[in-house]
Amino acid sequence: MAVVLILALLVVGSVLFHVLSPWWWTPIASNWTYIDSTLVITFWITGIVFVAVVSFMAYCVWRFRHKPGNRAAYEPENRKLEVLLASGTAVGVAAMLVPGLFVWNQFITVPDDAAPVEVVSQQWLWSFRLPGVDGKLGRSETRDISPENPLGVNKNDTTGLDDVIIEGGELHLPVGKPVRILLRSVDVLHDFYVPEFRAKMDMIPGMITYFWFTPTRTGTFDILCAELCGVGHSQMRGTVVVEEAADYQAWLEQQQTFTQLLASGEPQPTN
Burial bucket for residue 175 (CB in 10 Å: 0-12, 13-18, 19+): middle
Q: How far apart are CA 38 and CA 96, in angstroms?
A: 8
- Give the number of C-alpha atoms closer than 13 A to the C-alpha of residue 268, restricted to the C-beta side: 29
Q: Which residues, at least 6 apart from 214, have a Cβ–Cβ distance to it below 8 Å? A: 30, 31, 176, 177, 178, 179
Q: How far apart are CA 153 and CA 166, in angstroms?
A: 12
Q: Do residue 24 and residue 119 come from a single domain?
A: no
Q: Do residue 122 and residue 100 come from a single domain?
A: no
Q: Which residues, at least 6 apart from 104, have a Cβ–Cβ distance to it below 8 Å? A: none
The answer to whether 52 touches 60, Cβ cutoff 8 Å, is no
Is residue 87 helix, strand or coil?
A: helix
Q: How far apart are CA 160 and CA 139, in angstroms?
A: 7
Amino acid (1-letter code) at residue 209: T
Task: Give the Å distances, CA to CA, from 29 to 40, 103, 195, 209, 242.
Answer: 18, 17, 9, 22, 9
Q: Do residue 32 and residue 48 come from a single domain?
A: yes
Question: Does residue 270 lie in a domain region?
Answer: no
Q: Do residue 131 and residue 100 come from a single domain?
A: no
Q: How many domains does the chain have?
A: 2
The answer to whether 141 touches 205, Cβ cutoff 8 Å, is no
Q: Digits of tens for pLDDT over the chain (271 positions)?
A: 788 888 888 888 888 888 887 777 788 999 998 888 888 888 888 888 889 888 988 888 888 777 787 777 777 888 888 899 899 889 888 888 888 888 888 888 999 899 999 999 998 899 999 998 888 888 888 888 888 888 888 888 888 888 898 888 789 999 999 999 999 999 899 999 999 999 889 999 989 999 999 999 999 999 999 999 889 898 899 999 999 999 999 998 888 888 888 887 654 455 5
Taking CB atoms within 8 Å and a gap of at least 24, the contacts of 18-25 are: 18/43, 18/47
Cis-peptide into 124, omega within 30 deg: yes
Which domain range does residue 84 map to? 2-65+76-108
Question: Does residue 271 lie in a domain region?
Answer: no
Question: Does residue 257 lie in a domain region?
Answer: yes
- DSSP at 149: B
Q: Do residue 20 and residue 142 come from a single domain?
A: no
Q: Do residue 147 and residue 32 come from a single domain?
A: no
Q: Do residue 98 and residue 18 come from a single domain?
A: yes
